[in-house]
């Protein structure tokens, strides 16, 4: 699981300078940049979902799917 900029403009701002980071370790908050969590399935019991991914956001109401 990692965090990524949500939209194209968010990515341009986030990676513009010395920026951003890979995964959650290097993520710093930047004014106006909306981030989403990305989960990729690397392995599953029946191998039917390997490579699938989903995006979601956390808020005060809980976690919600945004795909």
- For the chain, give me the number of helices (H) and strands (E)? 1, 4
- Decide: helix, strand or coil at residue 19: coil
Compute the mean pLDDT over every residue in the chain, rounded to the nearest whole number: 77
How far apart CA 65 and CA 57 sit, in angstroms, is: 7
Taking 70 as the threshold, does the pLDDT of residue 27 lie above it? Answer: no
How far apart CA 33 and CA 42 sit, in angstroms, is: 28
- Tokens 């109401």 belong to which residue? 61
- Judge whether 53 and 19 are in contact, CB under 8 Å: no
- Judge whether 1 and 36 are in contact, CB under 8 Å: no
Residue 25: which pLDDT band, with cuts at 50, 70 and 90?
Answer: very low
**Averaged pLDDT, 46-67:** 81
pLDDT at 8: 92
Percent of the chain with pLDDT over 70: 78
pLDDT at 26: 47
């Amino acid at each position: 699981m990692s965090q990524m900029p949500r939209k194209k403009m968010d990515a341009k701002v986030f990676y513009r300078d010395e920026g951003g980071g890979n995964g959650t370790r290097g993520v710093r908050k930047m004014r106006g940049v909306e981030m989403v969590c990305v989960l990729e399935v690397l392995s599953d019991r029946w191998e039917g979902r390997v490579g699938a991914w989903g995006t979601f956001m956390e808020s005060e109401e809980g976690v919600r799917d945004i795909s």
